[in-house]
Amino acid sequence: MFDKILIANRGEIALRVIRACREMGIASVAVHSTADADAMHVRMADETICIGPAPSTDSYLSVAAIISACEVSGAQAIHPGYGFLSENARFVQAVEDHGLTFIGPSAAHISEMGDKITAKETAKALGIPVVPGSEGGVATLEEAKIIGAEFGYPVIIKATAGGGGRGMKVAKSEAEMERAFQTARAESKAAFGNDEVYIEKYLQKPRHIEVQVFGDGQGGGVHLGERDCSLQRRHQKVFEEAPGPSISAEERAEIGSICANAIARMGYSGAGTIEFLYEDGGFYFIEMNTRLQVEHPVTEAIFGQDLVREQIRVAAGMPLSFRQEDLEINGHAIEVRINAEKLPNFSPSPGRISQYHAPGGLGVRMDSALYDGYRIPPYYDSLIGKLIVHGRDRTEALARLNRALGELIVDGVDTTIPLFGALLQEPDIHSGNYTIHWLEKWLEAGGVDR
């Protein structure tokens, strides 16, 4: 086992890893930019190292600075959290080249699943169901129109190197194809430096279902059920729950087994998430995230497993501490993402926290790096906390979420807390009757202002 781990991240996820390290008796090293000198993860870690100025390109995204911090501190392994360098294969290779351990999958697996076309081809070869579409990149408008005619409109054009909804456009007819195709390529080029796109059949009323998987890197793998992340704005998740309210036990067992077998065949190591669109009983692969997800706490809640601890154990060469038959779902969990954003436009709202009070009580968990007097810097993601609730069933979890939101106080900046209070007034939320398009339509109709 490692003696010391460096956490190449900030905010609540850095704190999450520090806590796991402390429980395991492992020393933690926090890195930080000059803007984060007073951040909570810096205060909580056993050691701290400043790795550069405020812009993430000069600090949290600086491979050289992070490797140097490891060498200075004597850390043997790096936990990347999520975001930043967590899915950067070149970073992982650099870590390994310096004799350090990356707490996550191999550079090869990150590369394989980081390219959308290669990931889809790999998924098909492993028996994972995929959305019908082009076999590879689509280079010309003429080819795009042929594919549109073959699969039938609507279709969606996606950047092969994309993410977060960038480089993604829908064409509802051949007349819309030229504009959608050219716009998707231009956005992809601007965002990722790569204008290659591919085309898939566009599912009109799907849910977003993701399966949590874990591999030991030695041919073993398990799944920890699914999460429903259908409530999204601009392809960004805001409300996640497990288990999925629309998924039957039989569907869960079938798709879970397919995913667990796939990562076992890959020889995958650590945590991963295989994401699907789900419609009319069918699962269609969209991507694999080769890292810990923001919403991992809902899976931890219903299975009673510490996924960060398991990441560290597997990276140290230890076998999984649980088998598939050990994993049983207990109740229902929901997570809402609290962002420092001003409603209804969701514009960033950095600033000083004048008062912070976290909710508590049975079945309530608040993952946040906030404290009274903390100044949220304007340089990074607007996520400032995750409120997670767990109940015996979905009804109890929703009631607990409503109660916890009433206790949560974040003064000094605007937040998305009112969004969730408004959502909990909607019958569709209580019935679980929504798709990936529901939230945006509700917001367009003025839902948050009601």
How is 298-318 classified by DSSP, letter by letter? HHHHHHT--HHHHHHHHHTTP
- Say what the pLDDT of residue 440 is: 94
Alpha helix ranges (H) inside 152-239: 174-192
pLDDT above 80 for 161:
no
How many other C-beta atoms lie within 10 A of the C-beta of residue 96? Answer: 13
Helix (H) or strand (E) holding 88: none
User: Can you tell me the distance from the alpha carbon of 391 to that of 248, in angstroms, rounded to the nearest whole number?
Assistant: 19
Cα 213-219-224 angle, rounded to 5 deg: 20
User: What average pLDDT does the segment 340-363 reach?
Assistant: 96
User: What average pLDDT does the segment 296-324 reach?
Assistant: 97
User: Can you tell me the distance from the alpha carbon of 377 to that of 350, in angstroms, rounded to the nearest whole number?
Assistant: 6
Per-residue pLDDT tens digits for 163-172: 666 778 999 9
Length of the chain (residues): 450
Per-residue pLDDT tens digits for 253-296: 999 999 999 999 999 999 999 999 999 899 999 999 999 999 99
How many other C-beta atoms lie within 10 A of the C-beta of residue 136? Answer: 13
What does the block give as tokens for 83?
Answer: 């975001």
Is 228 in contact with 207 (CB distance < 8 Å)? Answer: yes
> Would you put residue 286 in left (φ > 0), alpha (ψ -120 to 50) or beta?
alpha
- Say what the pLDDT of residue 308 is: 98
User: Can you tell me the distance from the alpha carbon of 111 to that of 119, in angstroms, rounded to the nearest whole number?
Assistant: 9
User: What average pLDDT does the segment 345-374 reach?
Assistant: 97
Look up residue 113 and give its amino acid: M
Mean pLDDT of the chain: 94
| CB-based burial label for 172 (10 Å; 0-12, 13-18, 19+) | middle
Is 349 in contact with 341 (CB distance < 8 Å)? Answer: yes
Name the pTM for this structure. 0.89
Return the closest-CA partner of residue 236 out of 339, 332, 161.
339
- Say what the pLDDT of residue 239 is: 97
- Say what the pLDDT of residue 164 is: 62
User: Can you tell me the distance from the alpha carbon of 181 to that of 302, in angstroms, rounded to the nearest whole number?
Assistant: 42
Per annotation, catalytic residue among 10, 185, 207, 291? 291
Per-residue pLDDT tens digits for 23-77: 999 999 999 999 999 999 999 999 999 999 999 999 999 999 999 999 999 999 9
User: Can you tell me the distance from the alpha carbon of 358 to that of 412, in angstroms, rounded to the nearest whole number?
Assistant: 15
User: Can you tell me the distance from the alpha carbon of 321 to that of 297, in angstroms, rounded to the nearest whole number?
Assistant: 18
Cα-based distances in Å from 239 to 222, 233, 339, 419: 25, 10, 12, 10
What does the block give as tokens for 315?
Answer: 């990276």
Helices vs. strands in the chain: H and E counts, helices first: 15, 22
pLDDT above 80 for 162:
no
Lowest-confidence segment of 113-122, 269-278, 339-348, 434-443 by average pLDDT:
113-122
Is 88 in contact with 110 (CB distance < 8 Å)? Answer: yes
- Say what the pLDDT of residue 163 is: 65
Per-residue pLDDT tens digits for 19-28: 999 999 999 9
DSSP 97: H
**Catalytic residue list contains 227:** no
How many other C-beta atoms lie within 10 A of the C-beta of residue 430? Answer: 14
- Between 167 and 330, the higher pLDDT residue: 330
Exposure string over 316-329, b if 16+ CB within 10 A, otherwise e: beeebeeeeeebeb
What does the block give as tokens for 424?
Answer: 């909990």
